[in-house]
Amino acid sequence: MPRWKPDARQRLVVAALGLFAEQGYDDTTVAQISERAGLTRSTFFRHFADKREILTAGQKALSRLLAEGIDAAPADATPMTAVEAGLERASAEMTSFNRELSPLLRAAIEANEELQKRDALKSIGMAAAMVDALKRRDVKEPTAQVAAELGVLAFKLGFSQWADPDRDQDPGELATHTRAALDELRAAAADLR
């Protein structure tokens, strides 16, 4: 038997979210998560500092992907077109694994005030990464802030639609949903004049 089991990180996330849904976040221990995943506590701590980190594990990667997409946008791209490129880049990395875990993740967050605060910080981190990327493109601070906030909202709305477990049809690609959400937000912003 190999010393390191493959996909340990994903198995820990699945185990944790299942336990959070069954018995609540506060009543779930690292030992229980590790046991359900068929791994040791030391393996858990190689991947996560604590059980809270499971719920924000993808935050840094998501923020990085959004910024990479903005950085890679054509030099003449408008701020919103650059944000759209960031959404495309981040959306391309989301898999059915992310979609399938979304209802469990949402339930855990909604049931715990501390996790709600951490989720809000995730949005702030995503916006900050996009603002920094836009500023590297010489976009002025207020414009960068507004574009980034619209990008975060578009990602959240698009992801929510894509991951909706009540959908009767194939959700398609996440990028389709984030693009549609961004288009709706652009139209709504134009109506504010």
What is the DSSP secondary-structure string of 24-52?
Answer: -STT--HHHHHHHHT--HHHHHHH-SSHH
CATH number for the domain whose boundaries are 8-54: 1.10.10.60
Burial (0-12, 13-18, 19+ Cβ within 10 Å), 140: exposed
Class of domain 56-190 as given by CATH = mainly alpha
Give start-end residues of each CATH 1.10.10.60 domain in the chain. 8-54
Taking 70 as the pLDDT cut, the residues of the chain under it are 1-6, 168
- The whole-number pLDDT of residue 167 equals 74
Tell me which residue of 24, 44, 21 sits closest to 34, measured CA to CA: 44
Q: Where are the CATH 1.10.357.10 domain residues in the chain?
A: 56-190
Residue 6: predicted pLDDT: 61
Q: What is the pLDDT of residue 3?
A: 47
